[in-house]
Amino acid sequence: MTQRRAWFEDTITRRLITTVALAAATTAGLLQLLATFGGYWAAPNIEQTGLLQEVAAVSRMISVAPPMVRTPLAQAASTEKIMFSWFEAGSATARALETAHYKPEEVRSGRQVIGAFIGDTAIRLDPFSVENPVAAEPGIHVDRKKYPGATFLALQFADGSWLVCAALVRSWGFFTSERLMLELVALVAWVIVVSLIASRQMSRPIETLAEGVRRSGMKPSSPPIRETGPRELRLVVRTINAMQAQIRKFITDRTTMLAAISHDLRTPLTRIRLRGEFIEDAEQQARLFRDVDEMQAMIDGALSFFRDDASCEDMTTFDLPGILRTIINDFADQNIIIEYYGPARVIYQGRPFALKRVFTNLVENAVKYATPPSIVLSCTPEHYTIAISDAGPGIPDSLIGRVFEPYFRGDSSRNRETGGVGLGLTSALATVQAHGGTITVRNRPEGGLEVRVDLPRHDETP
Ligand code: ADP
């Protein structure tokens, strides 16, 4: 019973067996069709038709018969399919046959096929087609319209006389070499077609799986991968889905825990601040308050980061330059001028508020640590690229690789009152990755920092 169910199940083995069986059945069917409707294409090759033996026998007989019986003999040997005519040496047709022009390739291939059968009965062997003018000679005359495929063989005997054999209709198929070549080409083409279909059948579910794994790698909260394809692949998908669910649970637990710790730290911190009021040494008190404020900022930063991460803003269609313009206008209100270069309208599908936070953050960084930046939006067939460049000091090469680490702050940030807690770029990275995009930071050769956000154009982000 289990055995039977296993066979009916969609497995790789079953797919392979089905493909091969179908290919074999179709091949057999096609061959049968060819044999039935293939006309002379499907006919046997000339050696198998018996025609050559017939020509050889008749020509041998006529070559030894006395001249006076040769014509009646030739007439008697003629049938509906093959016509024999004999011409005396020196006759007009014999002369025409002697001086006619034969196509070298026809002669070569004809002699190759018939030479062995005729042996030394004839001193000359000249095959020709109905197109050759000599075929219209009065003694031979075959109606070219009625028999367009007529094929001739002119044999000259030792006494100078000629025997012309005319196969009126082609009863043979390809010659052996042509047939082999054709069979080989057809077989290779057929194998390629079948393999393509079979491998497409196999590769499609694997591609879906790879795409699903890529998505869930980018965003662990993306929906489970669809279970399609043969059983073995479905098993892999199920395992990956289970693993993804575990990772999701792990991340949620960890986030909840960190959020809870950050939240709970606020209360003792408030108590420390209150107790600090009783410190009499003003300088010590100021230092303590600075530390408390810094911790408070870190906790607030962490909490807002977790909040952003947990908020499930819906995907919508919106105007990308529109968002950038809003940010630029907000800064213009504070007399900070930011240049924008790029198209006026680009429709994008994503999470507009999250992306606005990313770009605001990047512009704010430039304003805080460098100069008001310029924003360039460019489009390639695959991506929308937003480059935010400033003319500030950039980030030392030794530190640039760490900018996306949580709580990373450069010296410029530490030394300033305005410095954040070092979660801005971390949270930008998370948002951009959730859109299937990438974010990179580089020091520009001409000075200043360039932050580049590449967002994929296709709407298949989770
Ligand atoms: P924060 O601004 O809260 O410190 P971020 O993650 O946004 O944290 O940035 C990390 C660090 O990268 C900053 O502390 C700063 O040293 C550096 N940085 C960011 N943007 C720029 C910039 N445009 N020019 C120079 N340094 C920058």
pLDDT in tens, 252-285: 888 888 888 888 888 899 999 999 999 999 999 9
Positive/negative CA dihedral, 176, 178, 179, 181: positive
Model pLDDT, residue 3: 53
State whether CATH 3.30.565.10 applies to domain 314-462.
yes
Type of residue found at 302: A
More confident residue, 232 or 144: 232
Spatial separation of the C-alpha atoms in residues 412 and 434, rounded to whole Å: 29
Q: Is residue 17 predicted with pLDDT exceeding 70?
A: yes
Q: Is residue 461 predicted with pLDDT exceeding 50?
A: no
Model pLDDT, residue 200: 86
Q: Which of 230-239, 305-314, 419-428 has the highest mean pLDDT?
A: 230-239
> For 439-444, which contacts have Cβ atoms below 8 Å and span 24 or more sequence positions?
439/404, 441/395, 441/400, 441/403, 441/404, 442/400, 443/394, 443/395, 443/397, 443/400, 444/389, 444/394
Spatial separation of the C-alpha atoms in residues 387 and 97, rounded to whole Å: 86
Q: Which of 191-195, 247-251, 402-406 has the highest mean pLDDT?
A: 402-406
Terminal-to-terminal C-alpha distance of the chain: 42
Model pLDDT, residue 323: 95
**Closest-lying ligand 1 atom to the alpha carbon of residue 423:** 6
Which residues have C-beta atoms less than 6 Å from ligand 1?
361, 365-366, 369-370, 390, 392, 394-395, 403, 408-410, 412-413, 419-426, 449
In whole numbers, what is the pLDDT of the chain averaged over residues?
85
pLDDT tens, position by position, 22-71: 888 888 888 788 778 766 667 777 777 778 888 889 988 988 899 899 99
Model pLDDT, residue 396: 92
Model pLDDT, residue 147: 83
Nearest residue (CA) to ligand 1, atom 14: 409
Planar angle of CA 416, 406, 316, nearest 5 degrees: 105
Mean pLDDT of the region 225-250: 88
Spatial separation of the C-alpha atoms in residues 43 and 172, rounded to whole Å: 5
pLDDT tens, position by position, 377-392: 999 988 999 999 999 9
Spatial separation of the C-alpha atoms in residues 237 and 443, rounded to whole Å: 42
Helix (H) or strand (E) segment spanning residue 438: strand 438-443
More confident residue, 139 or 289: 289
Mean pLDDT of the region 209-226: 78
Model pLDDT, residue 227: 85
**Percent of the chain with pLDDT strictly greater than 90:** 31
**Closest-lying ligand 1 atom to the alpha carbon of residue 413:** 14
CA of 385 to the centre of ligand 1 (A): 20
Mean pLDDT of the region 413-419: 60
Q: Is residue 460 predicted with pLDDT exceeding 60?
A: no
**Rg (the chain; Cα; Å):** 45
Spatial separation of the C-alpha atoms in residues 410 and 439, rounded to whole Å: 18
Q: Is residue 233 predicted with pLDDT exceeding 90?
A: no
pLDDT tens, position by position, 358-372: 999 999 999 999 999
Nearest residue (CA) to ligand 1, atom 20: 365
Beta strands in 78-205 (DSSP E): 82-87, 124-129, 151-156, 162-167
**Percent of the chain with pLDDT strictly greater than 70:** 92
Spatial separation of the C-alpha atoms in residues 431 and 352, rounded to whole Å: 11
Would you tell me how many other CB atoms lie within 10 Å of the CB of residue 181? 12
Are 115 and 74 within 8 A, CB to CB? no
**Closest-lying ligand 1 atom to the alpha carbon of residue 390:** 23
CA of 410 to the centre of ligand 1 (A): 6
Tell me the pLDDT band of 462, cut-offs 50, 70 and 90.
Answer: very low
Three-class SS of residue 47? helix
CA of 218 to the centre of ligand 1 (A): 24
Q: In a mutational test of the pocket of ligand 1, which residue from 304, 369, 400 has the highest number of ligand atoms less than 8 Å from its CB?
A: 369
Tell me the pLDDT band of 242, cut-offs 50, 70 and 90.
Answer: very high
Are 438 and 386 within 8 A, CB to CB? no
Which residues make beta-bridge pairs with 82? Answer: 167
Model pLDDT, residue 215: 76
More confident residue, 330 or 419: 330
Are 222 and 462 within 8 A, CB to CB? yes
Tokens of 417: 């009152």
User: Phi-psi category of 422—alpha, beta or left, where left has phi over 0 and alpha has psi -120 to 50?
Assistant: left
Please name the residue that has the structure tokens 């669910």.
Answer: 245
Type of residue found at 145: K
